[in-house]
A and B are shown apart, each in its own frame.
Chain A
Amino acid sequence: MTLLWRRPTTLDGAIEELASDDAAIYAGGVSLVLLMNLGLFEPATLVSLAAVPGLAAVTGDDEAVDLGAMCTHARLAADPILRRTHPAAADMFAGIGNVRVRSWGTLGGNLAHADPAQDPPVMLAALHGTVSVVGPRGDRVIPVEAIAEGPLSPALDPDEIVTSVRLPLAEERSGSSYLKYLPGTKDDYATVSIGAHLQFDRAGAVRQARLVAGAVGPTVVVLGAGSEVLTGHPLDPDVLDALRVAVRDEVNPSSDRRGSADYKREMAGIVAARAASACRPASARP
């Protein structure tokens, strides 16, 4: 079977090309060629988005920033707008994989890869991100955490294309953090990762909390119970410990090379507490 390479210059053109059998979107190539190299994926046609205009921009308005799906991780890590509006997200992008992955891997490719151990879906879901998708049956917007149905199974039709991610601007007195627990080598996916976004009231109590965990399930997990524990309380040690217990009891990981189910569950609680603690706005930190 010979592989065909298509390089449409419009989104509609790309959607059309994707209609052929076993066609796949080619963004940066890192995840896709990796699967091809391992013999796990053999597409018939690759549809490059490189020549489709307008997919690699970062734009902001007074409600949100929009991150183009074809932006590379390195581009986002260095983006002045994102760095100002969502510094924790910019830091997260700066810590993905290795420098070569960051040079070529794209936001859209990463989300469509639907790997629950990847960093972006965890942090971006914590920041209430939404994904814009276009396709032959119309456009839609889905929350970041809903983009995956399971490992390597995106909740997208094969001819749908991720075009951007929208992150609402952070509220006043809020803080975000992303913690990746790497007990072995620094060059690895997380054993557990937590994205946290906390909003505080004037007194320093948590008004609203959103915590999302990675690598503890088939998809990223929005920690409902964990967030509930924090709401209405300052981040004192008792509350953080209650958070640890709540998160531990909420997640249901399976064992993998990076940790047993038991260990991941316990670590999710500990890392969640540490991530929440790192969300304190600078003024509120001891």
Chain B
Amino acid sequence: MTSERRPSRSSETTHRDDPDQEWVSGRRRFAADIAADTSELLHVAFVLSTEPHARLLDVDADAALALPGVVAVMTGADIGLRLFGRSLRDYPVLAVDRVLFAGQRVAAVAAEDPETAHRAARMVDVSYEPLSPLYDLEDVFGEHDVELHPGAQGYEGATDDHPFGNLQGADVVVDGDVDAAFAECDHVREDTFVFDRVHSAPLEPHACVVDARGEHVSVWSSNKVPNRLRADLALLADRAVGDIHVHPTNIGGDFGSKAAPYLEVVCLLLSERTQRPVAARMTYTEMLGTTAVRHPGRLRLRTGLRQGRIHAHEAEAILDGGAFAAIKPRATRVVSILGHAYANYEVCVRDERAMTVYSNNPPGGHVRSPGEFQSVFAGESQVDLLARTCGEDPIAFRLRRTTVPEVRGILEELRAGVQPWGGDGPDVGVGVATFGCRAGNGESVVAARATSSGVVLRVGVPDQGSGMYATFRLLAAQALEIPREAVHVEAIGADETLTDAGAGSSRVTAVVGSACIDACSRLLEELGPPDPDEGGGYWPAARLERMGTPEVSVEGVGRNRRGEAAAVKPTYGGLALQVTVDRMTGQFVIRRAMLVVAPGRIANPVGFRGQLEGGFVYGLSQAVLERLVVEQGQLVTASLGDYKLACIGDVPPLEIRHVRVGAETEGELRAVGELANIGVAPALANAIDDAVGVRIRTLPITGEDVWQALRSVGQEG
């Protein structure tokens, strides 16, 4: 369904990870599969709060404990307050005296089989005294004296600036006097964009197996950051870091959800207590209701033109952070939502502010492009509106104002690409958006060992499902000029000798990939360069023999620090969509899509294309279908029957084009994981406006929204 046109096809081969068979034979094992082959295992089910905000009066587990097959019940009172969190530790592994959202873990039951554990969990009798809840932003900013975290100042990671009680965090980007700049503008427009809550929804629910029977603790988990998991477990379960071994485990999709120790701490404590290995696997309902969601909220953009140039830009974001800030890694406790609107254009003065507040909703966290998805929707929608006001073509308007050569190249390619689409009947429209993806900060170390039989790369990052190991093998094979079959990638799990920031933030290819390349160049320093006279193949074997050594070991480092000169360059993209709108129903159909990217160096063509295609559909699904409905603090869309994801029948034909701008960009690794998904929503809103002249400023964009908008202007069919 997709066609590609790329200039340098000849040198690109298609390879996937080895052993390939593991993937297609069902032998690839995930955390829940480890559980299936562990003997003497106990299964853990959690008791989840049914109240969005309440004092916890009593947890009565007698009936559950009396059920045959139940071995132990653990409550917050048993283990005391143990708080986890990335930049702020505010989230208890089990609630102690209060619950702050419906779904919060209150107790855990360990039983001989999962059915019994779940049945017993339903029999645990929890008494609550309901407290007044804060359900949404209106509640939070309304009249009340509810303070959800009265002890916030005492949390580890707390900062002093705490202007009001329910503030999770704030972020500011200011470079100039925006009021003065607005005063100089000849045209100003203001739009408010509103976005709903969505879930990262990987297909694999979180799962783990923990065996803490002896001196050492073994952990298999779908958690994507083994190093941090290990540190958290040590801290929260009072164990020495060195006693904990987190085994490398495949992850069945992450998209931001699998970064917190939701299950593992309690499983460790239960394993200690029962002296049995224990396993937990969330039901899908539990995952939807208890793991991080994309922050809902609103973003107001005010932008002024002066003599056609973007002179002043003001942004104000207010986000519902839910019950806990724990899942967010940034010290601001605001997802990265500032600086992305108008990022590709020259803007004279910016003043952008964001805040996240506490509420009695599921905690907000990172979902693929945690703030970019919303802010690029807002920014690229408003750019189109400005173009319309100026009477300019949206592509021409962008071309005239971009400062980024890659974006210029992309826009030109898009313009040429959509040319033949034009004039396709009434109520048909085309919309475009441009965007960028910056690799996250982080540092990784890769250990490389050359032996007589091959090169082994040892990495600390788990393969969370984007095919990155295949990429590392290809990078090493190219750097060392050896066959890719001679490279083996080993995951070592969490290990104190190797630094790794974990998967996420689109950093893996760029950061760990650079570490692989660095390790290979160090290997070459030790071994000397390949010699064409040695006959190719796996040449280090003969070299090692001549050197009289069985193997050579080195370590390589990769890092990204935004703002530094050597920072990984952003990857840029542009998307065009063509839609048809049924004026009577508001239903729209995306007829075709064209994605243009300026990719830098493509280490693994199959993986790269997969990230673009998968990202596009991920963005499509979240732009038009997904809405995690939480009403009065209660999850309504509690299964994949109600929380709908795009299926194979929903995806339009997609054409992918690559543009190369300047030779110097060819060799660099860039980020791509969070690129294609962020352009879909604005391109779609722009296309709908182009087709029927109504503007949707809410996410997700549904047929009903379009129908409403048409009706409000008297334009329905």
Report which A residues bind B (CB closer than 8 A).
1, 34, 37-39, 181, 183-188, 257, 259-260, 263, 266-267, 270
What are 25 A-B residue pairs whose CB atoms fall within 8 Å in the complex? A1-B119, A37-B283, A38-B638, A38-B639, A39-B118, A39-B122, A183-B586, A183-B703, A183-B704, A184-B624, A184-B625, A184-B644, A184-B702, A184-B703, A185-B644, A185-B647, A186-B647, A187-B644, A187-B649, A187-B650, A257-B636, A257-B642, A260-B704, A267-B585, A270-B584
Establish whether residues A257 and B637, one from each chain, have CB atoms under 8 Å apart when the complex forms. yes
Main secondary structure of the interface of A (DSSP, over half): loop
Q: Which residue of A lies closest to B647 (CB)?
A: A187
Q: Which residue of A lies closest to B118 (CB)?
A: A39
Establish whether residues B118 and A183, one from each chain, have CB atoms under 8 Å apart when the complex forms. no
Q: Is B347 an interface residue (CB 8 A)?
A: no
Q: Which residue of A lies closest to B706 (CB)?
A: A183
Contacts of B118 in A (CB 8 A): 39
User: With A and B bound together, what is the CA distance between A257 and B118 in angstroms?
Assistant: 28
User: With A and B bound together, what is the CA distance between A26 and B346 in angstroms?
Assistant: 66
Contacts A184-B624, A184-B703 known; 8 new A-B pairs at CB < 8 A:
A184-B625, A184-B702, A186-B649, A187-B649, A257-B627, A257-B636, A257-B642, A263-B704
Q: A38-B639, A257-B636 are in contact. Are A185 and B625 (CB under 8 A)?
A: yes
Q: How far is the CB of B1 from chain A (nearest CB, A)?
A: 15
Establish whether residues A183 and B122, one from each chain, have CB atoms under 8 Å apart when the complex forms. no
Q: How far is the CB of B113 from chain A (nearest CB, A)?
A: 12
Report B631-643 CB contacts with A as 1/0, cut-off 8 Å. 0000011110110
Q: A39-B122, A263-B707 are in contact. Are A188 and B702 (CB under 8 A)?
A: no
Contacts of B708 in A (CB 8 A): 263
Q: How far is the CB of A33 from chain B (nearest CB, A)?
A: 12
Q: A183-B585, A270-B585 are in contact. Are A259 and B704 (CB under 8 A)?
A: yes
Q: CB within 8 A of B646: which of A1, A34, A185?
A: A185
Contacts of A181 in B (CB 8 A): 585, 587
Give the top 4 A-B pairs by smallest Cβ distance, nearest first. Answer: A183-B703, A186-B649, A187-B647, A263-B704
User: With A and B bound together, what is the CA distance between A183 and B625 in angstroms?
Assistant: 9
Contacts of A260 in B (CB 8 A): 704
Mark out the residues of chain B between 23 and 40 whose CB falls within 8 Å of any chain A CB in the assembled complex: none
Q: How far is the CB of B714 from chain A (nearest CB, A)?
A: 14
User: With A and B bound together, what is the CA distance between A38 and B289 in angstroms?
Assistant: 13
Establish whether residues A188 and B707, one from each chain, have CB atoms under 8 Å apart when the complex forms. no
Q: CB within 8 A of B285: which of A38, A186, A266?
A: A38
Q: Which residue of B lies closest to A34 (CB)?
A: B641
User: With A and B bound together, what is the CA distance between A260 and B704 in angstroms?
Assistant: 8
Establish whether residues B585 and A257, one from each chain, have CB atoms under 8 Å apart when the complex forms. no
Mark out the residues of chain B between 687 and 713 whose CB falls within 8 Å of any chain A CB in the assembled complex: 702-704, 707-708
User: With A and B bound together, what is the CA distance between A188 and B650 in angstroms?
Assistant: 11
User: With A and B bound together, what is the CA distance between A58 and B450 in angstroms?
Assistant: 69
Contacts of A263 in B (CB 8 A): 704, 707-708
User: With A and B bound together, what is the CA distance between A38 and B627 in angstroms?
Assistant: 20
Establish whether residues B702 and A183, one from each chain, have CB atoms under 8 Å apart when the complex forms. yes
Q: Is B146 an interface residue (CB 8 A)?
A: no
User: With A and B bound together, what is the CA distance between A87 and B561 in angstroms?
Assistant: 64
Q: How far is the CB of A101 from chain B (nearest CB, A)?
A: 11
Mark out the residues of chain B between 583 and 639 whose CB falls within 8 Å of any chain A CB in the assembled complex: 584-587, 624-625, 627, 629, 636-639
Report B102-126 CB contacts with A as 1/0, cut-off 8 Å. 0000000000000000110010000
Q: How far is the CB of A150 from chain B (nearest CB, A)?
A: 19
User: With A and B bound together, what is the CA distance between A185 and B647 in angstroms?
Assistant: 7
